[in-house]
Structure formats: structure tokens, C-alpha cells
């Protein structure tokens, strides 16, 4: 599934690039009355890791895979948004224990930013973001014996907060850029751990199934600084 998404991203970006190239050939410059610029960025680190197997691509702890900015052409101020989604499925069965794990993570941010032209090729900027992240890890385990035991563990982590973002972009062409960013976010939230164990109670007539539930909640407060290792391929239109 990951490879299919990667190659789909390649096809889409290639199509967008070819369309923009045709427009650039038809128009020698930007319309003078254009008020806003649109930037769409896609994180390409997973793609580079698949294509380059020499181990030179560093691991990235930046969950925002898709970004969008709308900036005023005169003031260079604008709004920015980013989203990311990750899904992991794990299965393990040794004929006695059947274990299934599903991990989902959703990340989002929205804020304001401004960019500056250092030269005809380079842009730098800064932004202020509000962020929200939700992660859920569900593991279902079934132990098969004379008394089958079902165990469900659910870990829910929720974070919100905000902070600063700095970025740099290099123009590969008039419409295509490559860039990176660094962020300093302050986050707070909670980590909730729920467990349910279902088994038969042989001390009661008929040995009915009984479920025992436990739940714990931990409060989270953290600050996170990300180095500029996330690489984005951006399109301007």
C-alpha cells in the first residue's frame, strides 16, 4: 500500500508539473492584478527513502505530510495549514496467541506565516501555528486454551498546543520548489490507557464470561524541537 501511494504521488506531481509548465510557456509573467499566491507542499522523505537504499536519508519526526499556504502577493503574509495521517496494521499468530494491532495517527496544524525573497531562487520565512494530534493504538489478543481469554488494550494520546515554524525554499523553476522547515512546538494533553480482559468465571454456575476493565490517565506537557530534515516538494500557482 505504501509503494502504491508513493508512485501515485509521483504521477500526480508529474502531472501538475507538466500542466504548470504549459501555463508558464503560455504566460511570460504573472498577472499584474494577481492578489494571492498558492503553495502546495508534499513531504518526499518517504519517497526518497524508497528510491535511495544507501541509508543516507535521515529519519523524520514531522507528521505533516501535506501543506498548503495562501499568501498575499504584496505583504507576503498568509494563512497556512498542514495535515498528516498514518495507519499501521500488525498481525501475529502462533496457533496459541492471536494478536492484532491497529495504530492510527492524525495530525493537523493551522496558522499564519510570512516569507521573504533572499534572491531570485531562495525564499525564507516564519510562521505561528496551532496544532492538534490524535493517536490511537488498539491491540486485541486472544489466547486459545480450555479457557479462551480475550484481551483488548487501547492507548489514546491527544495533544494540542502551538509554536513557531521557520522554513526555507529553493526554486527549481518558476512553479516548482524544494524546501525544508524547523519547528518549536509546545504541547499539552493526555495519555489514556484502557484494558479489558474477558474470560470465563468457573466459580459461578455455567461459567459465564466476565469482563474486567481498568483505565489510567496521564497528563502530558512537552516541548518539541524538530530539525530541518523534512524535505518538501512545493508547487506554486
Model confidence pTM above 0.85: no
Q: Nearest-5° angle of CA 158, CA 164, CA 167?
A: 115
Mean pLDDT of the chain: 85
Whole-number CA gyration radius for the chain: 24
Alpha-carbon distance 21 to 15, whole Å? 10
Rounded (to 5) percent helix, strand, coil in the chain: 15, 60, 25
Residues in the chain: 237
The model's pLDDT over 87-143, given as tens digits with 9 standing for 90+, comes to 999 999 888 899 999 999 999 999 999 999 999 999 999 999 999 999 999 999 999
Alpha-carbon distance 146 to 87, whole Å? 35
Alpha-carbon distance 183 to 154, whole Å? 30
Alpha-carbon distance 113 to 69, whole Å? 8
DSSP designation for 55: S
What domain range includes position 78?
2-236
CA atoms within 13 A on the CB side of 142: 8
- The count of structural domains within the chain is 1
The model's pLDDT over 105-118, given as tens digits with 9 standing for 90+, comes to 999 999 999 999 99
Amino acid at each position: 500500500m505504501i509503494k502504491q501511494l508513493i508512485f501515485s504521488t509521483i504521477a500526480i506531481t508529474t502531472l501538475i508539473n507538466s500542466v504548470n509548465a504549459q501555463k508558464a510557456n503560455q504566460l511570460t509573467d504573472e498577472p499584474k492584478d494577481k492578489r494571492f499566491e498558492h503553495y502546495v507542499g508534499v513531504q518526499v522523505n518517504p519517497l526518497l527513502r524508497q528510491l535511495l537504499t544507501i541509508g543516507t536519508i535521515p529519519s523524520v519526526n514531522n507528521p505533516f505530510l501535506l501543506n498548503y499556504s495562501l499568501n498575499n502577493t504584496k505583504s507576503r503574509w498568509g494563512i497556512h495549514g498542514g495535515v498528516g495521517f498514518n495507519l499501521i496494521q500488525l498481525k501475529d499468530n502462533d496457533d496459541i496467541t492471536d494478536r492484532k494491532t491497529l495504530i492510527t495517527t492524525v495530525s493537523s496544524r493551522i496558522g499564519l506565516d510570512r516569507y521573504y525573497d533572499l534572491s531570485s531562487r531562495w525564499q525564507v520565512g516564519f510562521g505561528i501555528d496551532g496544532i492538534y494530534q490524535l493517536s490511537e493504538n488498539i491491540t486485541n489478543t486472544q489466547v486459545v486454551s480450555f479457557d479462551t481469554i480475550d484481551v483488548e488494550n487501547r492507548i489514546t494520546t491527544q495533544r494540542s498546543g502551538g509554536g513557531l515554524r521557520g522554513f526555507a525554499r529553493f526554486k527549481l523553476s518558476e512553479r516548482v520548489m524544494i524546501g525544508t522547515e524547523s519547528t518549536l512546538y509546545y504541547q499539552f494533553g493526555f495519555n489514556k490507557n484502557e484494558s479489558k480482559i474477558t474470560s470465563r468465571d468457573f466459580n459461578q454456575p455455567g461459567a459465564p464470561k466476565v469482563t474486567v476493565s481498568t483505565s489510567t490517565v496521564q497528563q502530558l506537557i512537552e516541548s518539541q524541537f524538530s530539525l530541518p530534515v523534512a524535505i518538501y516538494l512545493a508547487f506554486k500557482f
